[in-house]
């Protein structure tokens, strides 16, 4: 288990003003701020399926397929799935993750809700409020199949913090055993946009990216911005800037700020691939989504026994 001496405990109301609220059901945790912002997290995969911000919390920032399966039988198409301990198809042989499914087991496993903590206002300024939800995944809770395929002792704590016009998602990975292991991690975020043809992505210039659509080879990113005009699946590596931004119709829409993560995947399936995915609905949903996925996927992170690693992102809605 991950040592958590400061594990969140139940919150006792200490202020007269409205305070953050958390609702827990058998399959989902929902948090809501007094100003209306909200987040919904499935226990299956610890997948964030909704993040609403803006005036009265009526702006949905994440894209979720109309055909997304939310009953725990398969990974969720949309929201923010957690990719761990391997990104993409695992190495064919010779690596500890070779027997795992694509994108690993975190998004296919049921996580434990560990609790909540909050920053609460003590007066009328409820915009100061934030709420943090912690979720845990441990080797002892894996299915027999996953445990056999990746027999390491580990603990992961995933923290989802909702603030005014922001959502922070952080992963803490700890090696609980004596044998070292390697891993990759990615936060597979599906941002919701109004029109993909009017979007531009900045903050990726001066980097090298692998183009999985073109030839799976490395290319240099020299343009100050990227527009989506067809299928795109690129892995941008060792990015110097901490922030990747999305503009829509010439206006700032999102900032995605990496924390101890150097790589970012940009993905949109476009027309034909969207039609070919049974859980991607509607077929033209590609027009309203853009994946900007922060991660550590170029090479491997390694943890020896007792060591830990932390990384994540802060997403800001700029409407």
Residue 13 lies in a domain: no
Q: What pLDDT score does 93 carry? A: 85
Residue 137 lies in a domain: yes
Q: Report, as an integer, the average pLDDT of 158-183.
A: 98
What phi, psi does 106 have (nearest 5°)? -60, -40
CB contact at 8 A, 47 and 107: yes
Q: What pLDDT score does 10 carry? A: 41
Q: What pLDDT score does 13 carry? A: 40
Residue 9 lies in a domain: no
Structure tokens at 222: 């020299």
Rounded distance between C-alpha atoms, residue 226 and residue 260, angstroms: 23
Rounded distance between C-alpha atoms, residue 195 and residue 176, angstroms: 45
CB contact at 8 A, 288 and 60: no
Tens-digit pLDDT profile for residues 216-239:
999 999 999 999 999 999 999 999
Rounded distance between C-alpha atoms, residue 230 and residue 266, angstroms: 12
Determine the number of helices (DSSP H) and then strands (DSSP E) in the chain.
2, 22
> Which contacts qualify for 147-150: CB closer than 8 Å, 24 or more apart?
148/99, 149/99, 149/100, 149/105, 150/85, 150/96, 150/97, 150/99, 150/100, 150/105, 150/181
Q: Provide the domain limits for residue 255.
A: 21-317
CB contact at 8 A, 285 and 184: no
Tens-digit pLDDT profile for residues 31-46:
999 999 999 999 999 9
Residue 138 lies in a domain: yes
Residue 144 lies in a domain: yes
Residue 69 lies in a domain: yes
Domain CATH number, residue 170: 2.70.98.10
Q: Render the burial of 30-53: b for 16+ CB within 10 Å, e for the rest.
A: bbbbbbbbbbbbbbbbbbbbbbbb
**Average pLDDT, whole number, for the chain?**
93
Rounded distance between C-alpha atoms, residue 152 and residue 182, angstroms: 10
Residue 2 lies in a domain: no
Active site members: 188, 293
Residue 226 lies in a domain: yes
Number of domains in the chain: 1
Q: Render the burial of 268-296: b for 16+ CB within 10 Å, e for the rest.
A: bbbeeebeeeeebeeeebbbebbbbbbbb
Q: What pLDDT score does 108 carry? A: 96
């Amino acid at each position: 288990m991950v040592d958590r001496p400061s594990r969140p405990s139940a919150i006792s109301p200490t202020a007269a003003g409205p305070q953050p609220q958390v609702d827990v059901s058998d399959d989902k945790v929902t948090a809501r701020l007094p100003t209306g912002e909200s987040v919904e997290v499935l226990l299956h995969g610890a997948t964030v399926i909704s993040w609403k911000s803006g005036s009265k919390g009526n702006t949905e920032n994440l894209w979720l397929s109309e055909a997304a399966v939310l009953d725990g039988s398969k990974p969720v198409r949309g929201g923010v799935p957690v990719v761990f301990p391997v990104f993409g198809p695992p190495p064919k042989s010779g690596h500890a993750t070779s027997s795992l499914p694509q994108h690993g087991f975190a998004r296919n496993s049921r996580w434990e809700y560990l609790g909540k903590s909050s920053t609460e206002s003590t007066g009328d300024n409820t915009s100061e409020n934030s709420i943090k939800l912690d979720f845990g995944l441990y080797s002892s809770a894996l299915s027999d199949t996953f445990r056999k395929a990746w027999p390491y002792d580990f603990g992961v704590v995933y923290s989802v913090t909702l603030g005014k016009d922001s959502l922070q998602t952080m992963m803490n990975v700890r090696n609980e055993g004596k044998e070292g292991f390697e891993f990759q991690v990615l936060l597979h975020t599906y941002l919701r946009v109004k029109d993909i043809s009017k979007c531009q992505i900045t903050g990726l210039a001066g980097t090298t990216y692998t183009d999985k659509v073109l030839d799976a080879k490395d290319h240099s990113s020299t343009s100050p911005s990227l527009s989506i005009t067809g299928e795109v699946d690129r892995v941008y590596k060792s990015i110097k800037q901490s922030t990747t931004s999305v503009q829509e119709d010439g206006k700032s829409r999102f900032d995605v700020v990496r924390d101890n993560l150097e790589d970012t995947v940009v993905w949109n399936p476009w027309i034909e691939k969207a039609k070919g995915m049974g859980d991607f609905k509607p077929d033209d949903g590609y027009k309203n989504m853009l994946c900007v996925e922060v991660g550590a996927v170029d090479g491997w992170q390694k943890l020896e026994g007792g060591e830990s690693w932390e990384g994540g992102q802060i997403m800001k809605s700029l409407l």
